[in-house]
Amino acid sequence: MIQAILVFNNHGKPRLVRFYQRFPEEIQQQIVRETFHLVLKRDDNICNFLEGGSLIGGSDYKLIYRHYATLYFVFCVDSSESELGILDLIQVFVETLDKCFENVCELDLIFHMDKVHYILQEVVMGGMVLETNMNEIVAQIEAQNRLEKSELLAWGL
Amino acid sequence: MVAPSLKLQDLIEEIRGAKTQAQEREVIQKECAHIRASFRDGDPVHRHRQLAKLLYVHMLGYPAHFGQMECLKLIASSRFTDKRVGYLGAMLLLDERHDAHLLITNSIKNDLSQGIQPVQGLALCTLSTMGSAEMCRDLAPEVEKLLLQPSPYVRKKAILTAVHMIRKVPELSSVFLPPCVHLLHERHHGILLGTITLITELCERSPAALRHFRKVVPQLVQILRTLVTTGYSTEHSISGVSDPFLQVGGHSSKTMTNTSPLSSTQVATNTDTSRNAGNAVLFETVLTIMDIRSAAGLRVLAVNILGRFLLNSDRNIRYVALTSLLRLVQSDHSAVQRHRPTVVDCLQETDASLSRRALELSLALVNSSNVRAMMQELQAFLESCPPDLRADCASGILLAAERFAPTKRWHIDTILHVLTTAGTHVRDDAVANLTQLIGGAQELHAYSVRRLYNALAEDISQQPLVQVAAWCIGEYGDLLLEGNCEEIEPLQVDEEEVLALLEKVLQSHMSLPATRGYALTALMKLSTRLQGDNNRIRQVVSIYRSCLDVELQQRAVEYDTLFRKYDHMRAAILEKMPLVERDGPQADEEAKESKAAAQLSEAAPAPTEPQASQLLDLLDLLDGASGDAQHPPPLDPSPGGALVYLLDLPCAPPPPAPIPDLKVFEREGVQLNLSFIRPPENPALLLITATATNSSEGDVTDFICQAAVPKSLQLQLQAPSGNTVPARGGLPITQLFRILNPNKAPLRLKLRLTYNHFHQSVQEIFEVNNLPVESWQ
């Protein structure tokens, strides 16, 4: 099961924070900070798996992360998930973002935080992997966006 | 209405424009005030925008709890735009600890039954993220209906929601079990993925479900086969496929072993390893081979695949390979040993995660044949490793040295080396262990004291080392000054030098109070060992009579009194210490046992009273012996001793016995046989092998056999070969009992068996009759 998905930039500013287990707000922020510190220490050419910090869970949890340009994508998972599979999943997620936003960059994530959440909801649901086929995900997102657009037009907003 | 509110984008712009944290807080507080006002006014048109802004602010860490009720209103609205934001807010802000969350149950119910597909998707997503137990119970029927809808989008979401519901409310398993088999026929990968997860969850919760799904295993293998042989359409369908293989393989046992070897090898050979996805599948294959009871050839194949991965240049692959090998090392030790050189190479990695895994695996691979080479590598690693790994490495080396030390001298050398390199990271009992070890090795006293003296002269900062050295110099100071030791270079040590060194330790600010205590006592002991007069020592001791540390002061006063009033007794008091028995763990074990017995008799309610008292009876008989199978004492390196401890390594099978076997127990197809062996070289020893077999139709699980003998005998139980005997003549459990009977007392044996059979727990206590006379005469 995936416990949390965090996206933050090279300075630790959170761009996407999604927890699939309940933590109080202060703990959530602490986890983001702690994860950032752990991941920042990592060199670029060492492996993408980290034994997790103490806050987010005991010895069963791992952090699997990927560094893209200015952003870190971190998935905190337990031992039932395949590590290489999750690495693939991060790739799928980023590629989907790329397709939806056309050459996605950090600014897109900043200004369209809600849309990023909606895309993520199509990939991971309740801490479990829902869909890995990029085309399906993009098709769904586009359908939902069309729906929203037509509603907003109807209401004149 | 207040001034038109900002769009989300504009707010973000403003926040980013803030130069300092204080400015940012100001902007956000102002905006939150607007948002609160807008919520109070109840403006339906812009509500979704306000909540979106609130969610952004929430991500940055600011309080947003006042938006919770707005989420509910938005969810209840009929517009998709509103619902989208509302559900997102619910997932981020609401949780089951607030009562408010129950209020959305009704909205979700409506959306699930009447909403359009995207809306149903949203509702399911929310339910699976924050659905509490009550919500799950209420909404289970709706979700069940959606499982059978034609649209794959909704179905796959419904399946994963079902998984969440089962996790929250296990009773719902019965509701979601029937649709599963039907869902397996789907071709859509998303649905298959979800179904596999659901089946796994069901199987984990109840063995009944497991039996139910065993029948579909061939179907799953078929799915796997088609995917493997027809090639991959999108590379990510592979990640979906790796799941059926792993999950089901992990749960079914015999039915899988026939069909899977073929599939495993097929997958292993056909998978394209140039892509990461291919590697992922290969790993899952390996893990499955490990989980199910595969043939030996297949397991070797798995280990070899992992070995190949170890040489891969991609660090991620190497990491996963090391992790998997660690899991395998217990069961396939020899196969993993072949890759030892590669594993040891991985120790040199600069990557902390990799070197940690490599360290764990290396420590697991140490055995009696490779211990010297491995220790060299590990000690080299200890010198250069990062500080957080030092403690683990040091304790690992010390443990391995205890288990596999070929000679005492090598053992002492190793511990010495660890203490000098990583002294501050060793466990507290390392000092005690070393002193006991040295004390026991009489021939090595001179050698040890010289080595320690040299080490101490170089460096007095490592506390454990200083403590051991001080103790040794105190005990064996006379040997140090003799100057003859053939094992290391002769060194002329002066009395004054020794005293000066100990004084240095006493005065150093780096020394802990405990260390000072050791040094002071050592000085005192030297007063009897050394030839010269004791003025210097007396001086030092009297200085410490007014030391601020109470312990030191007390010692100094006592020693001083010893000099002044009881000088005639000094030599006798300060004689060499006798060998200290390794009492500590033994005393703990006996205390634990008696506590356990006491707890059993107190806590047991009336019906189990007779069992508890019978257990006490068993323990009475056990008095003095080293314990039954439930409390194995730790391993003791000190040789000999009348009490034998449990060994970790499996015992070689005893040679064929002339004493006839005895069948002692039979019930519903479960049998227990005893076979006896008296080794000729040790007439007091009797080895009994207890074999449990099962010819019935049901498996025997959690099988535990305990034994007791009269007080005059000593009994030691070794670990059984397992605790499950499969049905219809499956692999039996064997357990070895060692009985020492030096007085040739008549042998009596009482056995207690507990196990599960045909879903009942069985307990039998009985005394073995008709024991052959040859077993004890």
CA gap A99, A110 in Å, rounded = 17
CA gap B375, B416 in Å, rounded = 13
Contact flag B61-A43 (C-beta cutoff 8 Å): no
- ipTM, 2 dp: 0.90
Chain B contact for A20 (CB, 8 A cutoff):
yes
Residue B484 pLDDT class (50, 70, 90 cuts): low
CA gap B254, B440 in Å, rounded = 52
B570 conformational bin, left if phi > 0, alpha if psi -120 to 50, beta if neither: alpha
Q: What is the mean pLDDT of residues B255-260?
A: 44
Task: Kindly give, in sequence order, each residue whose CB lies less than 8 Å from that of residue A54, ignoring residues fewer than 6 positions away.
Answer: none
Burial B432-467 (b: 16+ CB within 10 A, else e): bbbbbbbbebeebbbbbbbbbbebbeeebebbbbbb
3-state class percentages of chain A: helix first, strand second, coil last, to nearest 5: 45, 20, 30
Q: What is the four-CA torsion angle of B353, B356, B361, B362, rounded to 10 degrees?
A: 130
Substitution target from A22, A60, A131 for chain B, most B beta carbons within 10 A: A131
The DSSP annotation for B10-76 comes to HHHHHHHH--SHHHHHHHHHHHHHHHHHHHHHT-SSSHHHHHHHHHHHHHTT---GGGHHHHHHHHH
Contact flag B81-A134 (C-beta cutoff 8 Å): no
What residue of B is the nearest CA neighbor of A117?
B88
Q: What is the mean pLDDT of residues B369-380?
A: 81
- pLDDT tens track for B4-56: 667 788 888 888 888 888 888 888 888 888 888 888 888 787 888 888 888 88
- pLDDT tens track for B100-125: 777 888 888 888 888 888 888 888 88
Q: Say how many CB pairs under 8 Å bridge A and B.
A: 156
Substitution target from B353, B354, B388 for chain A, most A beta carbons within 10 A: B353
DSSP state of B753: E
- pLDDT tens track for B654-673: 444 467 888 888 888 888 88
Coil/strand/helix, residue B140 = helix
Min Cα distance B720 → chain A (Å) is 29
Residue B261 pLDDT class (50, 70, 90 cuts): low
Tokens of B688: 């009994």
Cβ(B741)–Cβ(B762) under 8 Å?
no
What confidence score (pLDDT) does residue A73 get?
A: 93
Phi, psi (rounded to 5 degrees) for B495: -60, -45
Residue B295 pLDDT class (50, 70, 90 cuts): low
Q: What is the mean pLDDT of residues B570-597?
A: 56
Cβ(B551)–Cβ(B517) under 8 Å?
yes
Judged against a pLDDT cut of 90, whether residue B290 lies above it is answered with: no
What confidence score (pLDDT) does residue B268 get?
A: 56
Picking from B81, B96, B237, the nearest residue to A151 by CB comes out as B81
**With contacts defined as CB-CB under 8 Å, which chain A residues touch B351?**
43, 46-47
Domains and CATH numbers, chain A: 1-153 (3.30.450.60)
Domains and CATH numbers, chain B: 407-574 (1.25.10), 662-775 (2.60.40.1230)
Picking from A47, A133, A152, the nearest residue to B190 by CB comes out as A133
Put simply, the chain A residues between 65 and 124 with a CB less than 8 A from any chain B CB are 82-85, 87-89, 91-92, 110-111, 113-114, 117-118, 121
Picking from A132, A143, A152, the nearest residue to B81 by CB comes out as A152
Query: How large a percentage of chain B has pLDDT more than 70?
Result: 76
Coil/strand/helix, residue B632 = coil
pTM over 0.90: no
E strand spans, B354-481: none
Put simply, the chain A residues between 26 and 65 with a CB less than 8 A from any chain B CB are 29, 43, 45-51
**With contacts defined as CB-CB under 8 Å, which chain A residues touch B352?**
46
Picking from A47, A84, A126, the nearest residue to B160 by CB comes out as A126
Contact flag A113-B280 (C-beta cutoff 8 Å): no
Query: How large a percentage of chain B has pLDDT more than 90?
Result: 0
